[in-house]
C-alpha cells in the first residue's frame, strides 16, 4: 500500500469509548495510545482527540516518525527549519491551490483543505465540481506531506495534478485522499 503517514481520524472512535481514557490503535504492528475528550453541543457530544504534545483538542492526529502529533506540533517539531520558499513545498502548493480554487469559483474556507467543507456549494454534486475538489484534495495531500515529512514535489507532478492528468486522481477516492497520505510522484 502506498500510504506511509496515517492520519487518525475521529471516525475511528466508537460511540462506547469513554472520554479521558486512552484507546489503543494499532498500525503497522505498532500500538499507539490515544486520549480523547468530549465536548457537549446542542445536538449531543462531539469527540476530539487530545494531541499528546500540546494537549489541544483536535479532530485529527498524524503519525509522524514514531509518535502522534496534531498538525501544528508535527509542523513545529520534526522540521522546524523548513524553508518556506522551498520549490515544490507547501507554500507554493498552497498558493497554487488558492489560485486554482478561485478560477473554479471556490474560496478555500480553512486549512487543511477538506472537500466536505464545500458540500454546501450549489455545484457540489456535479461531476466537474467533484473533479475540482479532487484536484484540491490531492494537492492538500502533497501540501501536508511537505509540512510533515519535508517531501517536495516536482513541477511536472504539480502540473499533472492541476491539469487533471495525474493518476492519483483516478486511483483514490475523495475520502481516501482526505483520510490518508499517499505516495504521489
Footprint of Zn ion on this chain (CB under 5 A)? 51, 53-54, 70, 73
Decide whether 73 or 93 has the Cβ nearer to Zn ion.
Answer: 73
CA atoms within 13 A on the CB side of 173: 4
Q: Spell 25-49 as b/e; 16+ CB within 10 A means b.
A: beeeeeebebebbbeeeeeeeebbb
Least distance in angstroms from the C-beta of 85 to Zn ion: 25
Distance CA 12, CA 8 (A): 7
Decide whether 78 or 88 has the Cβ nearer to Zn ion.
Answer: 78
Judge whether 110 and 97 are in contact, CB under 8 Å.
Answer: no
Least distance in angstroms from the C-beta of 146 to Zn ion: 18
Decide whether 77 or 150 has the Cβ nearer to Zn ion.
Answer: 77
Decide whether 53 or 162 has the Cβ nearer to Zn ion.
Answer: 53
Decide whether 69 or 115 has the Cβ nearer to Zn ion.
Answer: 69
Judge whether 148 and 62 are in contact, CB under 8 Å.
Answer: yes
Distance CA 148, CA 142 (A): 10
Distance CA 104, CA 92 (A): 18
Least distance in angstroms from the C-beta of 60 to Zn ion: 11
Least distance in angstroms from the C-beta of 138 to Zn ion: 25
Least distance in angstroms from the C-beta of 79 to Zn ion: 15
Amino acid at each position: 500500500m502506498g500510504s506511509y503517514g496515517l492520519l487518525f481520524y475521529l471516525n475511528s472512535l466508537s460511540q462506547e469509548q469513554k472520554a479521558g481514557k486512552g484507546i489503543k490503535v494499532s498500525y503497522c504492528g505498532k500500538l499507539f495510545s490515544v486520549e480523547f475528550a468530549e465536548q457537549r453541543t446542542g445536538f449531543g457530544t462531539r469527540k476530539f482527540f487530545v494531541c499528546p504534545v500540546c494537549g489541544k483538542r483536535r479532530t485529527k492526529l498524524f503519525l509522524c516518525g514514531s509518535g502522534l502529533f496534531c498538525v501544528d506540533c508535527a509542523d513545529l517539531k520534526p522540521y522546524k527549519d523548513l524553508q518556506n520558499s522551498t520549490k515544490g513545498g507547501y507554500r507554493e502548493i498552497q498558493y497554487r491551490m488558492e489560485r486554482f480554487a478561485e478560477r473554479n469559483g471556490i474560496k478555500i474556507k480553512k486549512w487543511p483543505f477538506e472537500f466536505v467543507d464545500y458540500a454546501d456549494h450549489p455545484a457540489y454534486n456535479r461531476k466537474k465540481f467533484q473533479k475540482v475538489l479532487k484536484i484540491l484534495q490531492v494537492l492538500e495531500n502533497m501540501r501536508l506531506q511537505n509540512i510533515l515529512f519535508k517531501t517536495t514535489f516536482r513541477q511536472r507532478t504539480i502540473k499533472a495534478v492541476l491539469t487533471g492528468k495525474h493518476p492519483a486522481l483516478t486511483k483514490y477516492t475523495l475520502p481516501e485522499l482526505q483520510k490518508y497520505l499517499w505516495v504521489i510522484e
